[in-house]
């Protein structure tokens, strides 16, 4: 019971300080700071930061009682250590009360240092735990039981995730795996698990063998601890630091420090666990896994319920949109439990050392041979659907453990490694020197009174296949259908950026931007603002963090949705307010510019909605579809208002989105890091005033980009925007007496807003090449006759051509902003 109370206290203590550190790391990351922390998009985060010192005192109050027995009955050394720790905490708490450091966190080196310092108190507590507990007496490790434990863990984790396949299969969109493919993938997963756990065994055996030379079993324990810390550090670097786009040096330093602290906390618990009972005949492995092992029955129950643990962990964070970060950490936890329980279950097994070694080497050899065999199955069978890049990628959506293994085993060398380094050096730029660029589509604005009103609806995360003009199977967007019938529907519209952070600013610029949030001052790149100023527009815009950051305050601006959390901006709320504002200012003769970005479809917003039954929207993600339907009703209402008030025929009305959304396709959710087809394809429907519609023409099946919207508005407002090159947009409409300029041979760079993930869009939107430097892989898609984008086998031609173009386009952006990456 005492150990349970102590464990809870240590978990609370570690959780508080690790959470504080993570908050600082997120603040240090310029994109996370600009998009989430500073605009306070997630309301409880700033509240928690403001209450940080109070939670600190609560943590001290929970931790202190666990040290009381030492203070009362302990010997001199432990007593001094415990007293010093508590005194230090009181001093730190007093200082924090006066200096609330978390509220001052930002993207600067000081915040990074604070993130590292946040981990010092739990590390010191771990030291105190080691000082206060008696040194465990352990016998030397039997390597044979370690081997059996690793093998049992490999089989247990493989079996755990294989058993969950029937659960995930009907819940994953777009998986068309044949039984043969599934069998092949399950086999590859088993071999991969055996391979990795055999390597873990071999490395552990080597480390323990070297430690054994000291002839002191406790040295073996420290060797096991160091090894676990190293594995943790490797996982943090490959999973966490990569997801936060940290640079190599800081990412390794943080990973090493964080893993050392967590290993120290765990080791402290392990020593306390051992001190709390009688444990004879234990070795270093038993002591290390002590906190999660118990009687044999606990181990057996644990192994049997492992699939439920895995399911619970994944379900809790299934839609967390950060490169599967929490899902992967959940798998790591399952691995640790399986290893601990596996070693415990095989504790009494006795085999010779040599047998374990031979079997482990055999497992590795089978694993190594499995890679070329799996690669050739498609060739041998003549079935292209068995190509590993299709089968295994899709299977990974079902098997989280295999997905993590696949990522950890993937290494890039040669041209791949060099290319991904190039992408990283030009992406998510933090503290770099870059100059603003003057983006001028025109030299000056014509004096005219005939400017159309503009209503720009950029619905965050709206997929085009959830709108009936793009998908006849949709029955829940009648208003959009009616609006489309009076407008131009662009069939091949794409966003230039995945995720809002750069997508919306680039739409306003009408061109690609340096991969930084943001080059300041932004005004020279604010082409839309220049048009509004030059055209004498009065503006009614939703008060969101991008508008307040990237539009200059102006007396011509009326902010909508004031005092409403950005995540609660909805089409209905905004258009109601807009309607009232327009009615109240009916006499104002200035042209109107209205813009809003409703967020009711955003993943972070949808998870708050009550569950919608699947039967309500068969074939669609029900919660998402329900919000699209709500949005459609309000759009329809507003169009009705425009018609009623006589504004409709004088207005350009644009319905688009900043990016699409993954809704479970191959296990993918969200949009933050990825440029998959469902993320880069967007709706773009433009209604023109009657007079303009008669004067212009367009090719609606030609590629249209989000960066074309601003130059299009220039043209529709009576200006003649110049062609600024391939990195910039151009008007989507051409005067009826001029030929439409073809874009067929042009290639377009697309980028993720928050990570080193870029794509090339070519062949009039039919070809999409994605280079993902976060995961270290590239993918190719091609549009099929039915408009669906299907994955292609990567070829040397696709790779060579697209990488060459990508380098060229990214280089042009860097050059325009006078940015040179550090060597």
Partner 1 sequence: MKQVTAAVVRLLVTFLIVSAVVFVNRSQGGDEASAETVRCDLDPPGDVAGLETCLARSPRDVEILLELSAAYEAAGRHAEARVALTRAAAIDPRDAGVRQRLAR
**Residues 33, 38, 40, 44: is their CA dihedral positive or negative?**
positive
In whole angstroms, the minimum distance from the beta carbon of 804 to partner 1 comes to 7
In whole angstroms, the minimum distance from the beta carbon of 747 to partner 1 comes to 8
Residues 6 or more apart from 15 whose CB is under 8 A from it?
A: none
- The single-letter DSSP state of residue 35 is I
Q: What is the four-CA torsion angle of 567, 571, 572, 576, rounded to 10 degrees?
A: 110
In whole angstroms, the minimum distance from the beta carbon of 766 to partner 1 comes to 6
Query: Per the structure block, which two tokens stand in for 393?
Result: 């990628």
Q: What is the four-CA torsion angle of 401, 402, 407, 411, rounded to 10 degrees?
A: 130
CB of 91 or CB of 415, closer to partner 1: 415
CB of 481 or CB of 764, closer to partner 1: 764
- Measured CA to CA in angstroms, residue 461 lies from 180, 424, 458, 579 at distances of 36, 25, 9, 24
CB of 399 or CB of 416, closer to partner 1: 416
Characterise 799 by phi-psi region: left (phi > 0), alpha (psi -120 to 50), beta (else): alpha
In whole angstroms, the minimum distance from the beta carbon of 414 to partner 1 comes to 4
CB of 694 or CB of 740, closer to partner 1: 740
CB of 6 or CB of 227, closer to partner 1: 227
CB of 40 or CB of 764, closer to partner 1: 764
- The single-letter DSSP state of residue 774 is T
CB of 351 or CB of 799, closer to partner 1: 799
Instruction: Decide: 502 and 517 in contact? Cβ < 8 Å.
Output: yes
Instruction: Decide: 696 and 688 in contact? Cβ < 8 Å.
Output: yes
In a 13 Å sphere around the CA of 283, the CA atoms on its Cβ side amount to 19
d(CA 337, CA 354): 26
In whole angstroms, the minimum distance from the beta carbon of 764 to partner 1 comes to 7
Q: Residue 757: which H helix or E strand, with range?
A: strand 757-762
Q: How many Cβ atoms are within 10 Å of 699's Cβ, its own excluded?
A: 18
In whole angstroms, the minimum distance from the beta carbon of 326 to partner 1 comes to 25
| Strand-pair partners of 768 | 761, 781
Q: How many Cβ atoms are within 10 Å of 678's Cβ, its own excluded?
A: 21
Q: What is the CA radius of gyration of the chain?
A: 29
Characterise 23 by phi-psi region: left (phi > 0), alpha (psi -120 to 50), beta (else): alpha
CB of 416 or CB of 577, closer to partner 1: 416
CB of 785 or CB of 822, closer to partner 1: 785
d(CA 355, CA 146): 12
d(CA 710, CA 721): 10
Binding site for partner 1 (CB under 8 A): 195, 199, 202-203, 205-206, 209-210, 212-213, 361, 364, 367-368, 371-372, 409-416, 419, 491, 699-702, 742, 744-745, 763-764, 766, 776-777, 782-783, 785, 787, 794-797, 799-801, 803-805
In whole angstroms, the minimum distance from the beta carbon of 745 to partner 1 comes to 6
d(CA 433, CA 820): 8
Q: How many Cβ atoms are within 10 Å of 616's Cβ, its own excluded?
A: 13
In whole angstroms, the minimum distance from the beta carbon of 207 to partner 1 comes to 9
| Structure-token match 């459609």, residue found | 632
CB of 73 or CB of 745, closer to partner 1: 745
d(CA 571, CA 392): 40
Query: Per the structure block, which two tokens stand in for 206?
Result: 């080597």
In whole angstroms, the minimum distance from the beta carbon of 698 to partner 1 comes to 10
In whole angstroms, the minimum distance from the beta carbon of 396 to partner 1 comes to 14
CB of 566 or CB of 699, closer to partner 1: 699
In whole angstroms, the minimum distance from the beta carbon of 410 to partner 1 comes to 6
In whole angstroms, the minimum distance from the beta carbon of 477 to partner 1 comes to 20
CB of 2 or CB of 744, closer to partner 1: 744
CB of 699 or CB of 719, closer to partner 1: 699
CA geometry: angle at 604 spanning 601 and 606, to 5°? Answer: 45
Closest CA relative to residue 243, chosen from 333, 336, 331, 326: 326
260-292 burial, b if ≥16 CB within 10 A, otherwise e?
bbbbbbbbbbbbbbbbbeeeeebbbbbbbbbbb
In whole angstroms, the minimum distance from the beta carbon of 196 to partner 1 comes to 8
CB of 422 or CB of 648, closer to partner 1: 422
CA geometry: angle at 132 spanning 129 and 137, to 5°? Answer: 95
d(CA 741, CA 751): 25
Phi and psi dihedrals of 595, rounded to 5?
-145, 140
CB of 133 or CB of 208, closer to partner 1: 208
In whole angstroms, the minimum distance from the beta carbon of 2 to partner 1 comes to 40
In whole angstroms, the minimum distance from the beta carbon of 390 to partner 1 comes to 16
């Amino acid at each position: 019971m005492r150990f349970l109370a102590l464990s809870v206290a240590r978990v609370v203590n570690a959780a508080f300080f690790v959470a504080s550190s993570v908050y600082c790391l997120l603040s240090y990351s310029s994109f996370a700071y600009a998009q989430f922390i500073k605009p306070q998009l997630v309301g409880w985060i700033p509240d928690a930061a403001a209450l940080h010192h109070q939670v600190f005192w609560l943590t001290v109050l929970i931790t202190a009682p666990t040290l009381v027995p030492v203070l009362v009955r302990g010997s001199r050394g432990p007593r001094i250590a415990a007293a010093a720790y508590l005194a230090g905490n009181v001093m730190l708490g007093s200082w924090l009360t006066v200096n609330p450091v978390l509220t001052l966190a930002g993207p600067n080196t000081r915040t990074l240092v604070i993130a590292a310092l946040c981990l010092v108190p739990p590390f010191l507590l771990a030291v105190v735990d080691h000082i206060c507990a008696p040194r465990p007496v352990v016998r030397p490790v039997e390597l044979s039981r370690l081997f059996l434990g690793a093998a049992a863990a490999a089989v247990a984790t493989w079996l755990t995730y294989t058993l969950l396949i029937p659960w995930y299969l009907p819940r994953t969109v777009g998986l068309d795996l044949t039984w043969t493919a599934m069998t092949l993938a399950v086999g590859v997963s088993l071999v991969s698990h055996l391979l990795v756990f055999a390597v873990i065994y071999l490395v552990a055996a080597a480390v323990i063998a070297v430690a054994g030379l000291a002839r002191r079993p406790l040295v073996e324990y420290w060797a096991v601890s160091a090894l676990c810390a190293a594995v943790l550090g490797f996982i943090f670097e490959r999973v966490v630091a990569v997801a936060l786009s940290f640079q190599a040096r800081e990412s390794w330093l943080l990973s090493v420090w964080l893993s050392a602290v967590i290993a120290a906390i765990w080791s402290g618990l392990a020593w306390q666990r051992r001190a709390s009972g009688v444990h004879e005949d234990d070795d270093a492995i038993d002591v290390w896994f002590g906190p999660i092992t118990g009687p044999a029955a606990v181990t057996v129950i644990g192994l049997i319920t492992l699939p439920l643990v895995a399911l619970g962990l994944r379900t809790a964070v299934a839609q967390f949109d950060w490169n599967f970060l929490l899902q992967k950490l959940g798998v790591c936890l399952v691995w640790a439990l399986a290893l601990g329980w596996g070693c415990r279950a095989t504790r009494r097994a006795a085999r010779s050392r040599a047998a374990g070694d031979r079997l482990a080497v055999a497992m590795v050899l089978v694993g190594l041979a499995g890679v070329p065999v799996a690669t050739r199955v498609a060739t041998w069978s003549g079935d292209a659907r068995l190509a590993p890049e299709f089968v295994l990628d899709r299977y990974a959506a079902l098997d989280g453990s295999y997905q993590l293994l696949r990522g950890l085993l993937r290494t890039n060398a040669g041209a791949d490694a060099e290319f991904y380094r190039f992408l990283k050096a030009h992406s998510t730029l933090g503290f770099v020197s870059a100059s603003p660029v003057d983006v001028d589509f025109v030299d000056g604005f014509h004096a005219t009174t005939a400017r159309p009103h503009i209503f720009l609806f950029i619905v965050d995360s709206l997929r085009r296949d959830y709108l009936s003009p793009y998908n006849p199977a949709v029955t829940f967007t009648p208003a959009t259908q009616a609006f489309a019938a009076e407008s131009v529907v662009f069939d091949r519209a794409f966003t230039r950026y995945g995720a809002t952070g750069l997508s919306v600013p680039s739409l306003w610029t009408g061109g690609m931007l340096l991969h930084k949030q943001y080059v300041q001052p932004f005004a020279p790149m604010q082409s839309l603002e220049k048009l509004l100023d030059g055209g004498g527009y009065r503006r009614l815009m939703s008060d969101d963090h991008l508008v307040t950051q990237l539009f200059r305050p102006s007396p011509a601006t009326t902010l909508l949705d004031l005092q409403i959390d950005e995540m609660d901006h909805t089409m209905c709320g905004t258009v109601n307010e807009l309607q009232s504002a327009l009615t109240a200012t009916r006499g104002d003769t200035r042209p109107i510019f209205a813009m809003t970005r409703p967020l009711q479809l955003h993943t972070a917003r949808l998870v708050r909605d009550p569950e919608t039954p699947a039967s309500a929207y068969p074939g669609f993600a029900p919660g998402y579809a329900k919000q699209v339907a709500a949005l459609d009703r309000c759009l329809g209402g507003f169009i009705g208002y425009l018609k009623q008030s006589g504004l409709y025929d004088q207005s350009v009305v644009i319905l688009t989105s900043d990016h699409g959304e993954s809704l479970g396709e191959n296990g993918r959710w969200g949009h933050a890091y990825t440029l998959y087809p469902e993320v880069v394809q967007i709706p773009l429907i433009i209604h023109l005033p009657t007079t303009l519609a008669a004067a212009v023409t367009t090719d609606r099946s030609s590629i249209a980009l989000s960066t074309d919207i601003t130059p299009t508005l220039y043209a529709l407002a009576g200006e003649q925007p110049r062609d600024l090159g391939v990195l910039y947009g151009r008007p989507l409409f051409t005067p009826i007496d001029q030929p439409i300029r073809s874009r067929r041979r042009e290639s377009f760079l697309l980028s993720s807003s928050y990570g080193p993930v870029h794509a090339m869009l070519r062949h009039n939107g039919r070809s999409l090449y994605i280079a993902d430097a976060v995961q270290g892989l590239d993918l190719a898609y091609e549009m099929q006759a039915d408009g669906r984008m299907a994955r292609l086998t990567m070829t040397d031609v696709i790779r060579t051509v697209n990488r060459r173009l990508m380098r060229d386009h990214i280089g042009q952006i860097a050059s325009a902003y006078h940015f040179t990456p550090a060597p």
